[in-house]
Amino acid sequence: MKNSKQRGNSLEAAYRIRHQEALTPIAEALCQHITEIFKGEPRIDRITTRAKDPESFLKKASTQVENRIKYSEPLSQIQDQIGARIITFYRSDVERLDAIVRRFFKPIEFRDRVPDSEWEFGYFGRHYVLILPSDVKSDSIDKNKIPEFFELQIKTLFQHAWSEADHDLGYKPGSIPLGPDEKRKLAYTSAQAWGADQIFDELFRARVPAGE
């Protein structure tokens, strides 16, 4: 029976190899694949992909819920080993791009990530867990190292800007936990970003004919 340290070491070794030999080249191929599918679509600011870095993966793999390890089989259960993100201008664009995602990819999950309560502000974004298409799985990559899924996020510019700053300020390894007022400040900026998204979308829908 492996103890938790041995488990952690063998998991780290396995993931580092997977990251280098499979996830990194697949993430590059996926970026190209998604870019080609969305080619010509208006108001896409950028499309990016990434292979989850080993430190983030190991941190997630060690997550505990009620004093028990959340992921007993992290290599199979953690579904964002490859992540993709599409940043677009307005909230209406998210719906337009959503239709294209569903035409070209098979989801096993899709949801809008929003704060738990209408009285709270924080992270907003549309998330999908999608089957990794064979278009990005080169025959030269060991099949056992290829994850089945990838995570796709579609966000507006304001949602993206807020989540990047929030992540930088609040989730850096070794950083001091945020205090109550600091959390309120982050919530305040999220509310402002949410408001800006609303106003921009209203302006967009008022000024741009439907269908464009």
Partner 1 sequence: MSVQHIHAFLIHPGKRSTERAQIVGTTVSLTGGMFDLLDGIYAKSDRECDVDITFSPTADGQQQNDCRDLVVAYLGHPDLPKGKKIAERLAAHTDGRSGLGLLFLIAGKVGREHKILLSRFPTDSAIYVDENPNALSVQFLERVFMKNKTSYKAVVYQHASLRGGFWSGRAIDKQLNTLSGEPSNYWISDFLLSDFTTTPAAGTRRLAIALRDAAKKAPLPIKQELTAAGTLAGGLAGQRLSINDFGSRLGLSQAAKNAIADELKSSQAVQEVFQFDVATYKSLVAYKSVELSNGALLTADTDKFDRVFQQEPVDGGEGEVRFVTKGKVVDEKLKTAR
Beta bridge partners of 78: none
Name the burial class of residue 91, with classes exposed (0-12), middle (13-18) and buried (19+) by CB atoms within 10 angstroms of its CB.
Answer: buried
Residue ranges in contact with partner 1 by CB under 8 A: 29, 37, 72-73, 76-79, 102-111, 129, 131, 133-139, 148-149
Nearest distance in Å: CB 120, partner 1: 21
Residue 23's CB is within 10 A of a number of other CB atoms, namely 28
Provide, rounded to whole angstroms, the least separation between the CB of residue 52 and partner 1: 15
Q: In 72-208, at which residue ranges do the beta strands (DSSP E only) sit?
A: 82-88, 107-113, 125-131, 149-156
Nearest to residue 94, comparing CAs of 43, 129, 133?
43
As a whole number of angstroms, the distance between CA 160 and CA 125 comes to: 8
Nearest-approach distance from CB 106 to partner 1, in angstroms: 5
Nearer to partner 1 (CB atom), residue 86 or residue 186: 86
Distance between CA atoms of 44 and 75, rounded to whole angstroms?
Answer: 32
CB of 119 to partner 1, least distance (A): 23
Closest CB to partner 1 among residues 129, 165: 129
CB of 86 to partner 1, least distance (A): 17
What is the distance, to the nearest Å, from the Cα of residue 130 to the centroid of all Cα atoms in its chain?
11
Shortest reach from residue 32's CB to partner 1, in Å: 10
Comparing CA positions, the residue from 2, 6, 14, 9 lying closest to residue 147 is 14
* Pair 51, 1: CB distance under 8 Å: no
